[in-house]
Amino acid sequence: MSIYKAKDYKELSRKAANIISAQIIMKPSCVLGLATGTSPIGIYNQLTEWYEKGDLDFSEVSTVNLDEYIGLDTANPQSYRYFMNTNLFDRVNIDIHNTNVPNGMAADLEGECDSYDNLIHMLGGIDMQLLGLGHNGHIGFNEPGESFEKGTHIVSLSQSTIDANSRLFESKEDVPKKAITMGIRTIMQAGIVLLIASGKDKADIVRDAFWGKITPEVPASVLQLHKNLIIVADEDALSKSPVTDNYTVLR
């Protein structure tokens, strides 16, 4: 894995956006796996700024998002489709028909999971997957458990995830309890995985996930096995890890 240390969230966002923009420039028709939540907002703002300056062209890019809440339609401000439209898709020249988010309102949710995996396969797989990191080590909505889930699946959200996401809702009771999420196998099959982490509250899980044992109890730990993992984290998030500067770990 390659690790890039940033001074703060602003620098982290710019470094990560640089990596994504390089992918788009090298392969204009690339497939990007995208994430939601507060962590990637700075990245999407930076990518939008470069697009507005004429430095980036999204016209041939396809995207697949990691996950979506079950029970929220696309017009709901808390849905991840709404988030992506607001924070990126409506701000750049991407073809909205080339953007994909799981359908949390599907009548056949199991069928939606299978269809999403088939879609990713038809696209040729994911060239670069952007990930955040949950406090309990979840990536996407792959929660701690007894095994690594392989394909897109339905998950019951852990209480810690519900608590963390409740800041975005009027009350904790309004947070959906289930979601559709891309599976670990699909994430691991991406050509490049780009994980971002910011803040002292992520320091413990960054250390445990990337310098601890590989276990489904810390889902992100499986990324230690990825052939091309890039971590961009700020000083606070790396404060408990054995990192002194940017470096690459050979495994």
Show which residues are catalytic: 67, 136, 138, 143
- Helix (H) / strand (E) containing 233: strand 229-234
Given a contact cutoff of 8 angstroms between Cβ atoms, the answer to whether 154 and 148 are in contact is no
Given a contact cutoff of 8 angstroms between Cβ atoms, the answer to whether 10 and 18 are in contact is no
Total Cβ atoms within 10 A of residue 70: 21
- DSSP letters, 93-107, are ---GGGEE---TT-S
| Separation between Cα atoms, residue 162 and residue 173, nearest integer Å | 9
- What residues pair up with 154 in beta bridges, in sequence order? 180
Encoded amino acid at 98, one letter: N
At residue 2, the 3 state secondary structure works out as: strand
Given a contact cutoff of 8 angstroms between Cβ atoms, the answer to whether 73 and 105 are in contact is yes
- Helix (H) / strand (E) containing 67: strand 67-69
What sign results for the dihedral spanned by CA atoms 87, 88, 92, 96? negative
Total Cβ atoms within 10 A of residue 46: 20
